[in-house]
Amino acid sequence: DFEEDRTRAIQQTLDKNPSAFHPKIGCVVKRHSKGCNCKRSSCLKNYCECFEAKIFCSDLCKCKGCRNCSEYSRLKSAENSYYSQDSKTIINGFAAYITPGLIEVVCSCMLSQLILFDSGID
C-alpha cells in the first residue's frame, strides 16, 4: 500500500515537472542549471545547492547576501593568511609589555585586594 502511494506520488510529480528528480548541477562543466534561493545562510551552508556542489553562485541564483562567489573567496583567503601571520606578531607584541616589574605590581595589587576582602573592608 505504501509503495503504491509512493509510486503514484512520484509519477504525479514527474507529470508536473519531468526533470524533478534529475540532478540540478550539469554534468560536463560544474554549472548550476537552476540556481539557489538562499536568504539567510549567505550561501555558505550545505543547504545551498551551489555550496554543496562546491561551485560558486551564478546569475541564475536568486540568493540574498551571497558570499559564495569568487570575489569573497579571494577576500577570505587573503584574510586567513593575514590572521595566520599576524597572530604571532600580536602575541609577541603583548609579551614585550609583560615585564617582571609589571608582574610584581599586579600580584601585589591582587594580594592587597585579597587581604581587604578577608578583613571585611570594602
Alpha carbon of residue 16 to chain centroid: 36
Residue in the block written with cell 584574510: 79
**pLDDT per residue over 5-25, tens digit each?**
999 999 999 999 888 887 766
* Amino acid sitting at position 86: D
Q: What is the pLDDT of residue 22?
A: 78
Residue 4: pLDDT over 90: yes
Helix (H) or strand (E) holding 110: helix 100-119
Higher pLDDT, 10 or 96: 10
Q: The pTM is what? A: 0.39
**pLDDT per residue over 37-50, tens digit each?**
999 888 888 888 88
